Structures are given as C-alpha cells and as structure tokens.
C-alpha cells in the first residue's frame, strides 16, 4: 500500500469515533461533557432528567441547564434556612441561620448574574460568580462549624457545591473552545 493511502486509512480510523459522537446527538454530548466533571453521576442525572437538555447539541445549553438547577437549589436552601430560623429557639443557631439566609440570597443573585454572563459568553465572569456562590455556601457551613455544631443544611449545601463544580467544569469546556 502506498504511504499516502496508509495515511488516509489511518486518518479515517482515528477520526471515525469523533464522527460517531457528533452524530449521536445530545446523549453523547451529555456523556462527553459530564465525563469531564468531578461529579459525573450528578451531572448525567441532572442533564438527562431535564427536558431543556434533551436534543441539545450545544454545550452552552447544558451549562445553562445545570446553572439553572444550581440557582434553584440555592433558592430552596435559602427557603429552608428561613423556615429553620423561624422555628429555632437557640440564639446561636438563629444567628448562624441568619448568616445562611443572607449567604444563600447572595448565592442566588450571583448565579442569576452567571446566567446573564452565559448569554454574552462571559465565561470568566461566570467562573467568578459561581466561585463566589460556592464561597457563600461555605461561609454558611462555617457559621455552624465555628460553634462546634453540624449545620442542618450540610447535605443540601454539599449538593449545591457539586452543582456549582459541574457548572465550572462545563464553563471551562466552553471557554476552551
């Protein structure tokens, strides 16, 4: 076989898997994108369960879906903190929950800013806002751990941080394009 023919055959074999992925559609895009995150199972679960990501061939849409879930999660944690604050009789717990209420309101606002930045491809801004939101969640947790207590929001906060981590990973994939 001539060297040029061998080169052509080699290129066909190398590039063929990428063509299959591209033709595969949204499911393959979701799998490929989620494989590049720290929380693959959560990423796949969120994206495969949301109708907005079904049929998408656009990584930006997937980032928006996870970002929207993270914002909704922050809003739910905020409401949970408000409810716990209303029921609490302990002053130290009430103070920590007041901080959490403020922190998660800030996080919700920061994720809203991130959604706006995504529309204009402001990937550095998204990274800044999402990182700040994660810091707010950590500050909420520290309000309890500094008192030697376990936060009643720990499990929700952990999920929130994982969602934000996924957003950062997807955003960095977009940024690298």
pLDDT in tens, 113-170: 999 999 999 999 999 999 999 999 999 999 999 999 999 999 999 999 999 999 999 9
Q: Is the pLDDT of residue 19 over 60?
A: no
- Specify the residue for token string 């052509």: 8
Eight-class DSSP state of 51: G
Q: Which of 61, 100, 60, 105 has the alpha carbon at shortest distance from 84?
A: 100
Instruction: State how far the Cα of 94 lies from the Cα of 85, in Å rounded to an integer.
Output: 5
Instruction: State how far the Cα of 55 lies from the Cα of 6, in Å rounded to an integer.
Output: 37
**Quick one: average pLDDT of 79-84?**
98
Query: Please, what is the angle between helix 154-175 and helix 91-119, to 10°?
Result: 20
pTM score, two decimals? 0.84
Backbone angles phi, psi at 57, to 5 degrees: -115, 25
* Confidence at residue 25, expressed as pLDDT on a 0 to 100 scale: 52
Give 133-146 pLDDT, tens digit per residue.
Answer: 999 999 999 999 99
Residues in the chain: 177
- Specify the residue for token string 């060297």: 3
**Quick one: average pLDDT of 34-57?**
95
* Confidence at residue 176, expressed as pLDDT on a 0 to 100 scale: 84
Q: How many domains does the chain have?
A: 1
pLDDT, the chain, mean: 88
Of the pLDDT bands very low, low, confident and very high (cuts 50, 70, 90), residue 77 is: very high
Instruction: State how far the Cα of 160 lies from the Cα of 164, in Å rounded to an integer.
Output: 6
* Confidence at residue 22, expressed as pLDDT on a 0 to 100 scale: 38
Q: How is residue 85 written in tokens?
A: 């604050």
Which CATH number is 162's domain given? 1.20.140.40
Domain, as residue range, for 47: 3-175
Q: Is the pLDDT of residue 24 over 60?
A: no
């Amino acid at each position: 076989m001539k060297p040029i023919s061998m080169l052509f055959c080699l290129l066909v074999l190398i590039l063929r898997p990428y063509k299959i992925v591209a033709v595969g559609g949204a499911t393959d895009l979701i799998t490929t994108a989620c494989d590049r995150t720290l929380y693959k199972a959560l990423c796949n679960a969120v994206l495969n369960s949301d109708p907005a990501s079904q049929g998408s061939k656009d990584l930006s849409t997937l980032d928006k879906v996870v970002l929207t879930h993270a914002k909704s999660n922050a809003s739910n944690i905020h409401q949970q903190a408000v409810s716990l604050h209303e029921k609490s009789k302990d002053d130290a717990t009430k103070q920590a929950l007041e901080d959490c209420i403020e922190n998660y309101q800030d996080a919700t606002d920061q994720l809203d800013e991130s959604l706006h930045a995504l529309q204009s491809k402001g990937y550095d801004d998204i990274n800044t806002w999402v990182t700040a939101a994660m810091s707010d969640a950590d500050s909420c947790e520290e309000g309890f751990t500094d008192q030697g207590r376990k936060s009643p929001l720990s499990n929700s906060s952990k999920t929130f941080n994982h969602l934000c981590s996924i957003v950062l990973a997807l955003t960095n994939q977009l940024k690298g394009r």
